Amino acid sequence: MTDSRDPDALIRRAGRPDPERDQHFLVDDRVLDRIPTYAGDFDRSHVLEIGAGTGALTDRLLDVADRVTTVERDRGYAAFLREEFSDEIAAGRLDVVRGDALDVEFPAYTCCVSNLPYGVSSGVTFRLLPEREPAVLMYQLEFAERMAAESGTSEYGRLSVAAQHYADVEVVETVPPEAFDPQPRVDSAVVRLTPRDPEYEVDDEAFFFDFVKAVFTQRRKTVRNAIRNTGHISGLDDPDAVVDAVDEDVLGKRPGDLSPATFAALANVALGIQREGAT
């Protein structure tokens, strides 16, 4: 690895980040150096970065990737990146896209490595996951733990089921507030997402996610009552018919005790009944 740009010096040249605008820039060199290594066995021929800020991580990614596309919403920082990395841009190794990562069109990338702006981390993640490309992403620790949680734990919920539908989720490092400037009020975590097909099939992915969302709004109820009480959310016309078609050992559990595969089976039953009722 070549000599990396100093993150504090980048901030001095580019201007102070504003925490009110969800700007918390990673300045710990050790963490910055480690993050690209978590993507070591991914295809890094074209790395996508969301939220480049002053380019401290961008700099490290250019050391290990053939090409980097970075998306930055802040107009001033995007202009700074184009000046700071003008040689890399001229060589065709870096593209700087100014815009909101929730809206801009992503290029055909091979993996994503990012210190995500936490306010849009959920929205960006669920733009990335359906692309089924690997990723190494920084989140608030609580969010990361919910993504990786297993059924039967207090952290397990709708986010766990949805993320694990697309990928293996692994928390590879926790990062303290002191690693950032300005410091956030929470711990953070680096998450490695390795795409894979789920071990189950769903008949309609959109309905599956809506069904999981609905049932988890009643996470303290039994599955029986959760299904009955949330037809207005899941879109079920006859929740009682779904309950009648499901085994008692499933109905008596809490939503947090159901594996993603069991949720998929439930959703398939519910959708089948819904379609029968519509004919």
What percent of the chain lies above the pLDDT cut of 70?
99
Q: Report strand pairing: 167-175 vs 180-181.
A: unpaired
In a domain, 2, yes or no: no
Distance CA 167, CA 61 (A): 23
pLDDT of residue 2: 57
| 121 and 235 assigned to the same domain | no
| 182 and 212 assigned to the same domain | no
Question: Tokens 């986010």 — which residue?
Answer: 159
Mean pLDDT of 260-270: 97
| 114 and 251 assigned to the same domain | no
Among 169, 195, 221, where does a domain finish?
195
Name the burial class of residue 279, with classes exposed (0-12), middle (13-18) and buried (19+) by CB atoms within 10 angstroms of its CB: exposed
pTM: 0.94
Contacts of 244 (CB under 8 A, 6+ apart): none
Determine if residue 165 is labeled as part of a ligand binding site: no
**CATH of residue 270:** 1.10.8
Determine if residue 115 is labeled as part of a ligand binding site: yes
Determine if residue 100 is labeled as part of a ligand binding site: yes
Among 146, 172, 195, where does a domain finish?
195
| 19 and 138 assigned to the same domain | yes
Name the burial class of residue 188, with classes exposed (0-12), middle (13-18) and buried (19+) by CB atoms within 10 angstroms of its CB: buried
Task: Kindly report the average pLDDT of the chain as a whole number.
Answer: 96
Determine if residue 72 is labeled as part of a ligand binding site: yes
Q: 20-24, 119-123, 137-141, 196-200: which range is least confident on average?
A: 20-24
Q: Write out the residue range of the structural domain in which residue 257 sits.
A: 205-278
Distance CA 87, CA 216 (A): 50
In a domain, 263, yes or no: yes
Residue 1, pLDDT > 70, answer no
pLDDT tens for 8-22 read 999 999 999 998 898
pLDDT of residue 234: 93
| 162 and 191 assigned to the same domain | yes
pLDDT tens for 93-133 read 999 999 999 999 999 999 999 999 999 999 999 999 999 99
Residue 260, pLDDT > 60, answer yes
Q: Residue 193's closest CA among 127, 129, 134, 125?
A: 134
| 26 and 154 assigned to the same domain | yes
In the numeric block, which tokens belong to residue 187? 């711990």
In a domain, 12, yes or no: yes
Backbone angles phi, psi at 42, to 5 degrees: -90, 160
**CATH of residue 53:** 3.40.50.150
| 166 and 217 assigned to the same domain | no
| 167 and 247 assigned to the same domain | no
Residue 279, pLDDT > 90, answer no
